[in-house]
């Protein structure tokens, strides 16, 4: 057993862990951070991605002891303390970038990391950047759109996209009824502690 101290989503946890314990199991089984999930046993799927010391890591590929002294942000700690979604979360919702949602926590955190390194990625760079995260549902197209939107939002420049099929208002098909007011669209999120920057 080794004593480790890590800060997860703004809360400090001191625990004794076995040397072989993976960070993802420590997060899930010990700290109850079940928002982070496991999709494989070969470090291929990225479902377990968290931010460790600011960088995206596959938490199934890190030993808990290696995380000692670091600060970790999981999907549960990404939204603001007031419940406001992180721009990447908001963009995933707005762009229908998730279906079953199992890949989503890892995908969102991988995207957060990507945008920290490259605030204005091309579509190809987005696709390369999230290559380590598998999604079986979406075909990735809406994920790429969401990351692109989030990049604009994070840069503070609201770049309007040309009208296309993206909003489901497909050219030539009967138009959907007038857009529903956007107000009820905001996702209610329970207050979560904001991670200390």
Partner 1 sequence: MTTVQERPAGEVGAARKRKEDARLITGRTMWTENITLPGMLHLAILRSPMAHARITRVDTSAALREPGVVTAFSGRDVADTQGSLPCAWPVTEDMVHPDHPPLAVDEVRHVGEAVAVVVARDRASAVDALAVIEVDYEPLPVVLDMEDALAEDARLVHADKGTNKAYTWVFDSGEAGTGQGVDAAFAGAEVVIKRRYIQQRLIPAFMEPRSVVVDPTGDQHTIWSATQIPHILRVMVALVTGTPEHKVRVVAPDVGGGFGGKLQVTAEELIAFMAAQRVGKPVKYTESRSDSLVSAHHGRDQIQDVELAARRDGTVLGLRVNLLANMGAYLGIVTPGVPLLGAFMYNAIYKFPAYRFVCTGVFTNTTTTDAYRGAGRPEATYAIERLMDELAVELDMDPVEVRRRNWIKHDEFPFDTVAGLTYDSGNYEAATDKALELFGYEALRAEQASRRESGDPVQLGIGVSTYTEMCGLAPSRVLGALRYAAGGWETASIRVLPTGKVEVVTGTSPHGQGHETAWSQIVADRLGVPFEDVEVLHGDTRTSHKGLDTYGSRSLAVGGIALVNACTKVIEKARPVAAHLLECDVSDLEFADGAFRVRGAPSDAAGKTIADCAFAVFAAHDMPDGVEPTIDADATYDPGNFSFPHGTHLCATEVDAETGRVTIRSYVAVDDVGRVINPSIVEGQVHGGVAQGIAQALFEEAVYDGEGNLLTGTFIDYTPPSAADLPDIVSDRTETPAPDHPLGAKGVGEAGTIASTPAVINAIVDALRPYGVSDIRMPATPERVWQALRGGARS
Site string for partner 1, 135-174 (x = CB under 8 A): xxxxxxxxxx--------------------x-xxxxxxxx
**Which residues in 49-78 contact partner 1 (CB under 8 A)?**
74-76, 78
120 vs 185, beta carbon nearer partner 1? 185
30 binds, among partner 1, ligand FES, none (CB under 5 to 8 A by kind): none
Alpha helices in the chain (DSSP H): 23-25, 87-94, 104-117, 123-129, 141-155
Q: Which residues bind ligand FES (CB under 6 A)?
A: 38-40, 43-48, 58, 60, 98-104, 135-138
Q: Is residue 189 a contact point for partner 1 (CB under 8 A)?
A: yes
Residue 48 binding result from partner 1, ligand FES, none, given CB thresholds of 5 to 8 Å by partner type: ligand FES
Contact between 117 and partner 1 per CB under 8 A? no
**Total residues binding partner 1 (CB under 8 A):** 74
Contact 107, 134 (CB under 8 A): no
SS3 108: helix
6 neighbors 57 (Cβ within 8 angstroms): no
Closest C-alpha among 8, 113, 31, 17 to residue 66: 17
Interface residue with partner 1, options 93, 118, 152, 194 (CB under 8 A): 93
For residue 138, the minimal CB distance to ligand FES (Å) is 5
78 within 8 A of 112, measured Cβ to Cβ: yes
In a 13 Å sphere around the CA of 179, the CA atoms on its Cβ side amount to 8
In terms of CB distance, is 93 or 194 closer to ligand FES? Answer: 93
Distance CA 104, CA 46 (A): 10
Between 47 and 115, whose beta carbon lies closer to ligand FES?
A: 47
Dihedral through CA 70, CA 71, CA 76, CA 82, nearest 10? 170
Q: Write down the least CB distance from residue 37 to partner 1, Å.
A: 6
């Amino acid at each position: 057993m080794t004593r480790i101290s890590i800060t997860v989503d703004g809360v400090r946890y001191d625990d004794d862990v076995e040397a072989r314990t993976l960070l993802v199991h420590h997060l899930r089984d010990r700290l109850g951070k079940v928002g982070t999930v496991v999709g494989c046993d070969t470090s291929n799927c990225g479902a377990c991605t968290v931010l460790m010391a600011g960088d995206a890591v596959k938490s199934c590929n890190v030993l808990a002891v290696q995380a000692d002294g670091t600060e970790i942000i999981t999907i549960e700690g990404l939204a603001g303390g007031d419940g406001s979604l992180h721009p990447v979360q908001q963009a995933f919702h707005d762009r229908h970038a998730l279906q079953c949602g199992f890949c989503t926590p890892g995908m969102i955190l991988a995207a957060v990391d990507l945008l920290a390194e490259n605030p204005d990625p091309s579509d190809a760079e987005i696709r390369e950047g999230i290559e380590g995260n598998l999604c079986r549902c979406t075909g990735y197209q809406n994920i790429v759109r969401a990351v692109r939107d989030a990049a604009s939002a994070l840069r503070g420049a609201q770049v309007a996209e040309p009208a296309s099929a993206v909003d489901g208002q497909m050219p030539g098909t009967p138009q959907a009824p007038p857009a529903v007011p956007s107000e009820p669209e905001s996702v209610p999120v329970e207050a979560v502690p904001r991670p200390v920057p």
